[in-house]
Every structure is written in structure tokens, then in C-alpha cells.
Amino acid sequence: MIVGIVALVLGLFWAGQGYGLIQWPPHAAGQFTMVGVPDWTYRGIALAVVGALIILWSRRR
């Protein structure tokens, strides 16, 4: 269940950054950032869904 919660929260964070809703960390020149990159939105949503499925699966056992 803990793994599912972590995956869900991290996925939502990634999706928020990719969509541009979460502007953290601030962008610096020459630094990799996930902010505003659509690929991270899709990856975050996928991870959040996997996390939710893990939570549901763990509650059924």
C-alpha cells in the first residue's frame, strides 16, 4: 500500500510539473527541468494510475 501511495503522489507531482501547474524547482540555465514538458505529464498520469491500482489491489487482499 505504501508503494502505491508513493507512486500515486509522485505521478501526480510529475503530471503537475509536465503540465506547468507546479513550477518547482525554478529553471536555471543549463539545468534539466520537467516543467512544461508534455512527456512528463503522460508519464506522471501513467504512474499515478499504476499507484492507484496498487492501492486498490492491496486493499482487496
Q: pLDDT tens across 4-61, in order?
A: 999 999 999 999 999 989 887 777 766 778 888 899 999 999 999 999 999 999 998 6
Query: How high is the pLDDT of residue 30?
Result: 66
DSSP state for residue 27 in the 8-state scheme? P
Query: How high is the pLDDT of residue 20?
Result: 87
Query: How high is the pLDDT of residue 24?
Result: 79
Query: How high is the pLDDT of residue 33?
Result: 80
The half-sphere exposure of 46 on its side-chain side, counting CA atoms within 13 A, is: 7
Dist CA 17 CA 43 (whole Å) = 11
Phi, psi angle pair for 30, to nearest 5°: 80, 10
